[in-house]
Amino acid sequence: MTTVLTPPAPVSGSGKAPRQLRPSREPSDRIFHGTVTGIGLFVLVIIASIGIFLGYQSIPTFRHYGLGFFTQTQWLPELDKIGIAAVLIGTVEVALVAMVVAFPLALMLALFITDYAPKVVKGWLISVVDLMAAVPSIIYGLWAVFLLQPHAIKLSRWLSQHLGWIPIFHVNTDPNAAVWQQSRYTSSVFIAGLAVSMMAIPLACAVMRAVFDQAPLGEREAAMALGGTRLGVARTVVLPFAKGSIIGGTMLALGRALGETAAVLIIISPAYEIKARILEAGTQTTSALIAANFGNATKSQLSALLTAGFVLFLITLIVNSVAAVVIRRSRSGAGTEI
Amino acid sequence: MTTGTDVARFQVGQGASASSRLRAAPDATGPSRLDAVGVSAWFGDNLVLDDVSLSMPAATVTALIGPSGCGKSTFLRILNRMHESVAGAKLAGEVLLNGADIYDAGHRLTDTRKQIGMVFQKPNPFPAMSIADNVTAGLALTGTKVSKGDREDLIEHCLTRAGLWSEVRDRLGTPGSALSGGQQQRLCIARALAVRPRVLLMDEPCSALDPTSTRRIEETIGELCSEVTVVIVTHNMQQAARVSQQAAFFLASQGEPGAIVEHGATKDIFEHPSDPRTADYVNGRFG
């Protein structure tokens, strides 16, 4: 490296100015530079064009319904009553249930992979978790409906029996009835959330695992040499080191959970009602709403659906951007390297 | 090369101070005697240390010297069971802490490491913790409960012993990572002392530090050896001569595992080495 750097002379006055250094301009460099820059820009253009398209399509809906679009719970195009209040609540509820289930599982799975699993199991388990991410979401939907739901509703009933006094666990039926109304517990936010959590786990786990592996060996050894157990090492070194990525990975998974469509669509029974009763049958999410009504929508209904999509797009964009910022900040690794 | 049955042991009592220290038998919490008996080590199928035996008497400083790759750091890591944390690492032989084998099934790994502390080549304080929390990290890790008053006394005592107290007494709440390299290393020494080890292993503790910090740590080692047995790996001949009472010279010939060539009182190793290879090394002719 023989690049000559000018001394940091004051730029103002006496005709002194930093020299202009010409970067390398080999033809191969220029071609490659142009190609990767083009691809990078292309991604930005795609995202921006989606946003602009959705925003443009939303204009008629916002003109017609105004802010009422955000406060109206019903989705009745025939009666000209359209709003996403209930749908947004349902979307957030499903995503939150998914994250409450996925977060501890993903965290412990990642910790097991990096700190506990024998080498052979480790490689094998990484592949399986990656495979979890590759399973189509409709498969998780079918799995939830036919395999999980018949058992999960027993847990739902148990929760409502014992914790029913907490509003979110309440179900509008008698949980202690001799012949209990099973259909009151199916197709709920809870079941949909369980299915979505299966798709959120691999994403959150992958981010956490990658960062747990980077926890400095010197600090790990310091904790071990002080007489720390593996759990002690994890708590003292690994988790504090990865704090930002744990938050960021969880938010990335939340972004995934907010937009999940196919599985949710076949699990839930549509209900346009603002309610916190997650164990009870019936809810609606934004993406499921769009998927269910897209096929037979009129022009104005289509605009309303695209507006719902626009809102979802903005929410996931914000969640993912915050996640990216949190992860990038933590990766700067302030204070981890001496 | 010392191999096979040619097992060499320290002639304890060569220095008057060493022998008198040894005769003051170590109690349950004081400095302990450490004996390595027939220790060999492998990484995978590669034998890196062959049948090394060495006695490290209580309350003395033992220096392990030798060129890079001669197995002295591996030997040091065997003394507190850190060697086995590396994938594929194996070992043979015994390490006796006051006569009890630390590799015995009855010995808990975490207890062993608590009794035989370690300071590493690169300072490694926990960056997310304050200076005070760094000192007491070992207590938290081993589930040792102390009252608030005892904790403050312990922090002051350990930082004083490590020669850091006067520099950090006003900022115990600031992160350990904000200190200079030499201060960080002394913080690591304080952290290791807080769990009251009987033996303190030091793996080239000054190699990443400037001369002033090195001198402070050498002074600290000199003050520590009355309360803890010290074993130090160093590349610095002058340092070995300054801080240790006994020294062991490790060497690995081309393609051969490392072993002890010669050991004894530091003075003898430096002034009257019996093996020509030792003489060449301590006089800087190789390594």
CATH code for the domain in which residue A86 is found? 1.10.3720.10
A336 touches chain B (CB under 8 A): yes
Instruction: Give the integer Cα–Cα distance in Å for A294 and A69.
Output: 18
Q: Considering the domain boundaries, does residue B191 fall inside one? A: yes
Cβ proximity of B88 and B255 under 8 Å: no
pLDDT value of position A6? 54
Beta bridge partners of B64: B233, B248
B113 with A335: Cβ contact below 8 A: no
Question: Domain span at residue B221?
Answer: 57-78+108-282
110-129 in chain A: CB under 8 A from chain B: 119
* Banded model confidence at residue B69, pLDDT cuts 50, 70, 90: confident
Q: Under DSSP, is residue B7 helix (H, G, I), strand (E, B) or coil?
A: coil
Measured between CA atoms, the residue of chain B closest to residue A225 is B113
In B, minimum Cα distance to A233 occurs at B141
For residue B80, what is the nearest residue in chain A, using CA coordinates? A225
- Residue B114 in domain: yes
What pLDDT does residue A325 have?
85
Please name the residue of chain A whose CA is at the shortest distance from the CA of residue B176. A335
Average pLDDT over residues A18-36: 87
The pLDDT assigned to B143 comes to 85
pLDDT level of residue A326 (50, 70, 90 thresholds): confident
Give the dihedral sign, CA B18/B21/B22/B23. Answer: positive
pLDDT tens for A155-206 read 999 999 999 999 999 988 888 888 888 889 999 999 999 999 999 999 999 9
Read off the tokens for B34: 């450490």
Per the structure, the complete domain to which residue A104 belongs is given by 47-333
Over range A30-56, report the average pLDDT.
95
Give the distance from residue B274's alpha carbon to the nearest chain A alpha carbon, in angstroms: 36
CA B182 from chain centre, in angstroms, equals 17
Interface pTM, i.e. ipTM: 0.84
b/e map of A95-104 (b: 16 or more CB within 10 Å)? bbbbbebbbe
Determine the distance in angstroms separating the CA of B46 from the nearest CA of chain A, rounded to an integer. 20
C-alpha–C-alpha distance, residues B233 and B20, integer Å:
24
How many CB atoms are closer than 10 A to CB B140? Answer: 18
What SS3 class is residue A267?
helix
Whether the CB of B86 is below 8 Å from some CB of chain A: the reply is no
> Does position A1 have pLDDT exceeding 60, yes or no?
no
Please say if the pLDDT value at position A4 is more than 60: no
Mean pLDDT of B135-143: 91
Q: In terms of CA atoms, which chain A residue is nearest residue B141?
A: A228
Size of interface A-B (CB pairs under 8 A): 82
Beta strands in chain A (DSSP E): 75-76, 81-82
pLDDT at residue B19, as a whole number: 37
pLDDT grade for B255, boundaries at 50, 70 and 90: confident
pLDDT at A84 over 60: yes
Interchain CB contact of A230 with B (< 8 Å): no
Look at residue A230 and tell me whether its pLDDT is greater than 70. yes
Across residues B72-94, what is the average pLDDT?
A: 92
Q: Does a structural domain hold residue A279?
A: yes
Look at the block and give the residue holding tokens 């690169």. Answer: B122
Nearest alpha-carbon partner for A89 in A283, A292, A288: A283
Min distance B108 CA to chain A CA atoms (Å)? 10
Q: Please answer yes or no on whether B128 and A240 come within 8 Å at the CB atom.
A: yes
Return the CATH number at B258: 3.40.50.300
**A225 touches B at CB < 8 Å:** yes
Considering the domain boundaries, does residue A65 fall inside one? yes
Residue A222 touches chain B, beta carbons under 8 Å: yes
**Which whole number is the average pLDDT over B253-267?**
90
User: Is the confidence at residue A11, as pLDDT, over 70?
Assistant: no
pLDDT at A212: 92
Mutation target vs A (from B141, B142, B174, B177; most A CBs, 10 A cutoff): B141
State the nearest Cα–Cα gap between A107 and chain B, in angstroms: 20
Q: Do B140 and A222 touch (CB under 8 A)?
A: no
On whether residue B86 sits in a domain, the answer given is no
pLDDT of residue A334: 42
Asked if residue B6 has pLDDT above 70, the reply is no
Smallest CA–CA separation between B129 and chain A, in Å? 9
Instruction: Check pLDDT > 50 for residue B24.
Output: no
Mean pLDDT score, B254-274: 91
pLDDT at residue B10, rounded to an integer: 38
A258 exposed, middle or buried (CB, 10 Å; 0-12, 13-18, 19+)?
Answer: buried
**Predicted local confidence at residue A177, as pLDDT:** 84
What's the rounded Cα separation, in Å, for the pair A1 and B161?
Answer: 47
Structural domains in chain B (count)? 1
Cα(B109)–Cα(B50) distance, rounded to whole angstroms?
24
Residue B276 belongs to some domain of the structure: yes
**What is the per-residue pLDDT for A179?**
84
Position B218 confidence tier, pLDDT thresholds 50, 70, 90? very high
With respect to residue A15, please indicate whether it lies within any of the assigned structural domains: no
Q: How far does B213 lie from chain A, in Å, by closest CA?
A: 16
Q: What is the mean pLDDT of residues A22-40?
A: 89
CA B247 to chain centre: 12
Residue B11: inside a domain: no
CB-based contacts of B152, cutoff 8 Å, min separation 6: none
The count of domains in chain A is 1
Q: Is pLDDT at B235 greater than 50 in this prediction?
A: yes
Residue B45 domain-assigned?
A: no
Any domain includes B271: yes
The average pLDDT across B145-165 equals 91
- Does some domain include residue B98? no
Decide if A4 is inside a domain.
no
Res A10: pLDDT = 53
Question: Average pLDDT, stretch B251-256?
Answer: 87
Give the three-state DSSP class for B191.
helix
